[in-house]
Structure 1
Amino acid sequence: MAAWARAARALLLDVSGVLYDSGGDGGVPIAGSAEAVRKIKASSLKLRFCTNETQATREKFVKKLQGLGFDISVDEVTAPAPAACRVLKERNLRPHLLVHNDVVPEFAEIDKANPNCVVIGDAADNFSYANLNEAFRVLIGLENPVLISLGRGRYYKETDGLKLDVGAYMKALEYACDIQAEVVGKPAKMFFESALAELGVQPQQAIMIGDDIVNDVGGAQQCGMRALQVRTGKYRPGDENHPRVKPDAYVNNLAEAVDLILQQLHE
C-alpha cells in the first residue's frame, strides 16, 4: 500500500472538478464521487469540503450539490467569502465588491459605504471593462490600497469547457495599481489552516484531494498535508511535469482515492 495513504484521520475534498463538473443546469456529477462521499462518512475519517466557489452563497451551493446526490451540509464547507468577511470585520474594512451577484448576500452584514478596499471574486459576466475599471479607480484613489481576492485560480472547468477564473482579473488589478492582493481562498495557508482547525486535526493527519495542481495540491502541501491530484476537472497531462509541485500521488478520480485510503485503514 502507498505510504501516502497511511495514518490518515481526515480528508479535505475540493468540490468543482472532484465531485462534479459545473455548468449547464447545475452541473454533472463525476462518476463514483457521490458514493465515495458516502463511503467516507461511513468510515472513521473526518471530512471537510474545501471550495473556492465564489459564484453562490454556501447555502445555495450546498443545495445544488444535494440536488446532484451528494450528502453535504453547510457546516461541512470551508469557503472564501465567510473568511473574507471575518477579515473585513477584524480590520474595519469597507469593501467595494467585484463579485458574482449570487454571492453578494454573504456580505450582507458588512458596511460597504465609502469603500476603503476592494474584494474580488469569480464575478463571471460581471467582469466587464466598466466594472474592472471601477474597482481600479477605487484602489488607485486610496492612500493605502487593499485588494482582497477570494481566490487566485487561473481557470476552471464547466460542462461547455474551460473558463477564466478570478486570478486573471486579480493580476490585472495588481499590475495596474502596483499592489499585491491578499488571497483568502485556496492556496492561502490561512484557508487550509482554518479547515484543519474546524476538523480538529494536525496537517500530517490530513489528505487533500483536488484537481488543481497549484491551488489544491501545492497549497495543501505547503501546510504540511499530503495531497493527491485527481485526473478529472481541470487536470491536464502537463500537470505531471509541473516544475514546482509534485502531488503525493495521482489518482484517476475521487472514487479510486477513497478506496485506496479505506483499504489502508482496514489493514
Structure 2
Amino acid sequence: MADQPWFDSCAHVEGVLLDISGVLYDSGEGGGTPITGSIEAVQRLKASDLKVRFCTNETQCTTKQIVEKLTKLGFDLQLNELFSPAPAACQVLREKSLKPFLVVHPDALPDFAEFDLSEPHNCVVLGDAVSGFSYENMNKAFRVLINQDNPLLISMGRGRYYKETDGLVLDVGPFKAALEYAVDCEAVVVGKPAQGFFMSALKDMGVKPENAIMVGDDIVNDVGGAQACGIRGLQVRTGKFRPSDEHHPSVKPDGFVDNLAQAVDLLLKNRHK
C-alpha cells in the first residue's frame, strides 16, 4: 500500500499528468519494455472522467515518434495529449529568429527542420544526444556560447539520469551543467521542471493546479517541479526511483506508490468517497 494517505484528498482531482519513461515503460533496445500494469492503468484512467496528459522530457526522437513507439508498446495516446520539450525549444528559436547549434539525438532532428542550422550559430540547443555527447560536439557548443556577448543555452530538460533496461544512464543535465560552468551562464530549461511546461499541460486540460496530480519517477523534476506549481506530486517506485528518494532533503512527495497501476487503483477508488 501507499505510505501516505494522499488518496484521501483526491475528491477534487480532475486531471492527471503522467511521466513516460520510468512510469509507463523502461527505455532500451527494441523500443523499451512496458512496466507491469501500466498499459491497463492508462486504459482505466482514460475510461474514467479524468483528463490525462503525458508529460515527458524524452528528446531522443520526434514527438510523433514518441507516440508511435508508445502505441506500438500497447499504450493508448494521441499526439495532442503529449507534451515534450522540443516544441517548447522550437518556440524560443522561432520567437528570437535564432540559428541554433544542435546537440541532439539524430532521430530528433526532424523537429528542428524549419530552422537555419548553418554557421554562424548564435545559440545552442541541448537534448539527450546519447553518443552525440562527444568531446568534439561539446567543444563546438562551448565555442558557440563563449563567443556570444549574452550566451543562450537552451536545454531540453535537466535530468541527471534515467533508467534503461540494462541500468541507469546519464541524461542531459550533467552536460548542461558542464556548459553552464564553462561559459558562466544559466541555461533556459524547457520541459520539466519548468513551470511553463506544467502550466501549458494544465491549460490544455482546462484544469487548475489544485485539481491535478502528477505521477513521476523523478523526485526533483517530476514531483518537485509539479509541487512548485501547486500540483500534487506522486512518486512511483519504478524507473529511476532509488530508496534514498524516500528521504530526499528538499522534496517531499504527496505520496509514494509501488507503480502506476497502484496509483490508478487508489485514485479511482477514492475520488468519489
TM-score normalised by the shorter chain: which range applies? over 0.9
Q: Unaligned 5+ residue runs, structure 1? A: none
Q: Secondary structure at the match of 2:241?
A: coil
Q: Percent identity at matched positions?
A: 63
CA contact (8 A) 1:4 1:248 kept: no
Displacement of 1:4: 4.1
Please name the residue that 1:110 is paired with: 115
- Name the structure 1 match of 2:92: 87
Distance 2:73 2:20 in 1: 12
Aligned partner (choices 68, 89, 96) of residue 73 of structure 2: 68
Shift of 1:266: 3.8
Structure 2 partner of 1:261? 267
Pick from 233, 244, 250 the counterpart of residue 244 of structure 1.
Answer: 250
Secondary structure at the counterpart of residue 143 of structure 1: coil
TM-score (norm 2): 0.96
**Of 132, 137, 156, the match for 1:150:** 156
Q: Is the 8 A contact 2:60 2:129 kept in 1?
A: yes
Q: Equivalent residue of 1:59, what SS?
A: helix
Offset from partner CA, 1:113-142 (integer Å, 9 cap, x none):
331110000000100000000000110111
2:45, 2:52 within 8 Å by CA — same for their partners in 1? yes
Matches of 1:194 and 1:149 in 2, distance apart?
A: 18
Task: Give how far 1:73 is off.
Answer: 1.3
Separation of aligned partners in 2, 1:255 and 1:103: 30
Pairing of 1:1-267 with structure 2 (within 5 A): 2-113=7-118, 114-267=120-273
1:34 partner letter: I
Shift of 1:6: 2.8
Deviations 1:45-94 (A, max 9, x none): 00000000000001111111111110011111000000110111112222
Counterpart amino acid of residue 79 in structure 1: S
Kept after mapping to 2: 8 A contact 1:136/1:177: yes
C-alpha separation between the residues in 2 aligned to 1:136 and 1:240?
37
Q: Which amino acid aligns with 1:196?
A: L
Aligned residues: 267
Amino acid corresponding to residue 39 of structure 1 in structure 2: R
TM-score by length of 1: 0.98
Gaps spanning 5+ residues in structure 2: where? Answer: none
Contact 1:4 1:226 in 2 (8 A): no
Query: CA contact under 8 A between 2:195 and 2:228: conserved in structure 1?
Result: yes
Q: Distance in 1 between matches of 2:155 and 2:232?
A: 25
3-state SS in 2 of match to 1:162: strand
CA RMSD of aligned residues (A): 1.0
Contact 1:4 1:249 in 2 (8 A): no
Q: Structure 2: how far apart are the matches of 1:29 and 1:231? A: 15
Name segments (4+ residues, structure 1) moved above 6 Å.
Answer: none
The SS at the match of 1:25 is helix
1:194-244 Cα shifts (integer Å, max 9, x gaps)? 111111111001000000000000000000000100000000000011110
